Structure 1
């Protein structure tokens, strides 16, 4: 799971998880503690990437590991190279939780194949390029937020 303030680090965290072959669950740190705890327990997260000040107020379930990306002491002795990972279209990329307006939030799994197809199609439709910029105002816990930052 990724629970961070808006920052350059959150973008690096999303890409790092994907590059390492993992899947992420973006958590909006403005959500109530009970909702965050439910999502962390429900998704079966193995690790939460976060920041020190956010970690202090996260309702982590017992036994869930965390890594504060702004604390070099936590990760400076870890491997620096990119992992060798073979990804398939069906590999999970991320899980987004619904609003829960009709009960408990439900996790919706998004795999790499449909995600890449969608990003390519919208990139072609809107003719995006690496020189383009986008104002990003949505919560990363909203599925539509990921479309914008993933375009080439």
Structure 2
């Protein structure tokens, strides 16, 4: 006679614990991916910054190759804040963010090879970007014949 129907809505405690456990297992699987993605993102940003820095230096040297005499190159670099390494003849500069750029020049016939290396810091242990190009300098080579 007293047939009562129970209409219980909601979750039991066991269902709730199982749900939380499943979500926890899934989250644990993805947490390392988020950390790795953040590290890769940070590293990519550092490499891009170094690449842009090297590009800007190469563009400046190209501009000088078109406007300045080759004999003025060393003084232009020193005026720009670079220091000359007397041992190997390279020019170095420590940037505000502690990156270190190193520029090497070598003559190849009528052309001047320019190699720019951007390092993480002045210890020059970790190379982040490198540019290399050949220029015909004003007053020598192909450009010297135009005058």
TM-score by length of 2: 0.21
- Which one has a larger percent helix, Structure 1 or Structure 2? 2
- Which one has a larger percent strand, Structure 1 or Structure 2? 2
TM-score by length of 1: 0.21
Q: Which has the higher contact order (CA 8 A, sep 6+)?
A: 1
